[in-house]
């Protein structure tokens, strides 16, 4: 007969690294576009845990713990350690794994091939937290990140390792390109099975009302009520970067993705407008702006669309003319002729 009687299983309380956000023995995902501070946020988490410092929304000091970092994108010396230092980390309690030795060669660890070696490192170092940044860098070519069966094989192994070691495992990944999808569970790169295997999910996104701020919001939690989102910014400190927290935010993950979609759509419409307006050759910039205004396209949106599309401009007889870049042109170069335009 399979299984055990429920009465034979001793109930256990969830142990939190960061109350209701990161749990020991569980798998977590942090999603977000590149350049928004996901990696920096994990280093802030590592620094606080290593030094036993309070987390942003928890007044009492947390329990201190050791941390293992698997980082495939940032340099340990000039980026990771400097950022940990300005965040106040106890560097003796943090172990950075850049590569492992395979047949006398140094290579990135691969999942699930090297799960046992990673687990040995976590157990030997008695780590309370393992960060994998980014997850996709540790998947071999044989693993199709968009195939549910493949990713579940990896994520189940990670989740089991988290359970055995009692470490909170945090994997970082980028968002996909589906800007018209505001459901955060479908916006992470790769298969839906990735977020499905995680017990808690988070999103890092821009604050819709403040370009300088970011929002750290939950996308799912199978362990506790969804905690309130938190606002933060990235500040330069002693030549490095540090997370500065600004308290709670009213945004949800869905709000943040909807705001991103709202910002992206007008720019896409503006790019379509430019392609149509300039399809027959160059026209004066003032005429483009006049036509754009009639279409309800603001100058700021038009300028950003112009830059993203690579629209070229040149001054002739005191007047600026715009034309499509070479890869967008249909053959008519108009008054600007075939000359190369200044960038």
Please check whether residue 26 is in contact with residue 168, taking contact to mean a CB–CB distance below 8 angstroms: yes
67 touches 127 (CB < 8 A): yes
Return d(Cα 313, Cα 274) in angstroms, integer: 13
| pLDDT at 340 exceeding the cut of 60 | no
Bigger pLDDT: 298 vs 261:
298
Average pLDDT score over residue span 303-315: 88
Residue 328 has pLDDT above 70, yes or no: no
What token pair was written down for 283?
């026209």
What percent of the chain shows pLDDT beyond 70? 90
**Is the pLDDT score of 331 beyond 90?**
no
Return the pLDDT at 325. 86
Calpha distance 252→97 (Å, rounded): 34
**Looking at residues 87-95, what average pLDDT do you find?**
98
The arithmetic mean of pLDDT across residues 144-150, rounded, is 88
What percent of the chain has a predicted confidence (pLDDT) above 90?
Answer: 60
| pLDDT (tens digit per residue) in 33-81 | 989 999 999 999 999 999 999 999 876 656 799 999 999 989 999 999 9
**Mean pLDDT, residues 82-91 taken together:** 97
pLDDT at 276 over 90: no
Considering only residues 172 and 306, tell me which one the structure prediction assigns the higher pLDDT. Answer: 172
How confident is the model at residue 264, as a pLDDT?
58
- Kindly state the average pLDDT of the residues 250-268: 77
- Which pair of structure tokens corresponds to residue 156? 């189940």
Cα separation, 87 vs 67, in Å, equals 14
Residue 32's pLDDT is 94
pLDDT, position 236: 92
Cα separation of 88 and 71, whole Å?
19
Tens-digit pLDDT profile for residues 110-130: 999 999 999 999 999 999 999
Angstrom distance (rounded) from CA 49 to CA 192: 30
Size of the chain in residues: 343
What pLDDT score does 125 carry? Answer: 97
Work out whether strand 168-174 and strand 100-102 pair parallel, antiparallel, or are unpaired. unpaired
For residue 272, what pLDDT is reported?
A: 80
Please confirm whether the linkage preceding 112 is cis (ω < 30° from 0): yes
Given a cut of 70, whether residue 181 has pLDDT beyond it is no
Pairwise pLDDT comparison (211 vs 327), residue with the higher score: 211
Say what the pTM is.
Answer: 0.77
Higher pLDDT, 102 or 185: 185
pLDDT at 329: 57
The predicted model gives 225-251 an average pLDDT of: 95
Per the model's pLDDT, the better-predicted residue between 136 and 343 turns out to be: 136
pLDDT at 267: 65
> How high is the pLDDT of residue 179?
59
Position 176 scores a pLDDT of 83
């Amino acid at each position: 007969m399979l299984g055990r009687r429920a009465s034979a299983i001793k109930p256990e309380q969830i142990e939190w690294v960061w109350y209701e956000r990161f749990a020991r023995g569980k798998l977590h995902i942090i999603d977000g576009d590149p350049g928004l501070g996901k990696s920096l946020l994990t280093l802030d988490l590592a620094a606080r845990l290593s030094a036993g410092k309070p987390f942003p929304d928890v007044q009492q000091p947390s329990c201190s713990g050791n941390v293992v970092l698997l980082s495939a994108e940032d340099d340990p010396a000039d980026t990771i350690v400097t950022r940990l230092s300005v965040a106040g980390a106890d560097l003796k309690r943090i172990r950075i794994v850049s590569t492992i030795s395979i047949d006398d060669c140094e290579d990135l660890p691969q999942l699930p091939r090297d799960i046992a070696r990673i687990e040995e490192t976590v157990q030997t170092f008695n780590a309370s937290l393992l960060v994998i940044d980014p997850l996709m860098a540790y998947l071999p070519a044989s693993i199709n990140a968009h195939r549910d069966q493949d990713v579940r094989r990896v994520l189940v192994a990670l989740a089991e390792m988290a359970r055995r070691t009692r470490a909170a495992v945090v994997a970082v990944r980028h968002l996909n390109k589906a800007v018209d999808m505001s459901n955060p569970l479908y916006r992470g790169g790769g298969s839906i099975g990735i977020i499905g295997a995680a017990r808690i999910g988070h999103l890092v996104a821009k604050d819709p009302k403040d370009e300088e701020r970011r929002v750290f919001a939950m996308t799912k939690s199978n362990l506790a009520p969804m905690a309130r989102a938190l606002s933060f910014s990235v500040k330069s400190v002693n030549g490095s970067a540090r997370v500065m927290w600004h308290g709670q935010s009213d945004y949800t993950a869905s709000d943040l993705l909807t705001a991103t979609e709202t910002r992206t759509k007008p720019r896409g419409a503006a790019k379509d407008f430019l392609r149509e307006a300039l399809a027959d050759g160059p026209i004066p910039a003032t005429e483009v702006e006049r036509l754009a205004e009639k279409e309800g396209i603001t100058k700021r949106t038009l300028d950003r669309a112009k830059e993203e599309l690579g629209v070229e401009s040149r001054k002739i007889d005191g007047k600026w003319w715009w034309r499509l870049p070479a890869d967008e042109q249909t053959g008519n170069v108009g008054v600007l002729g075939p000359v190369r335009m200044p960038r």
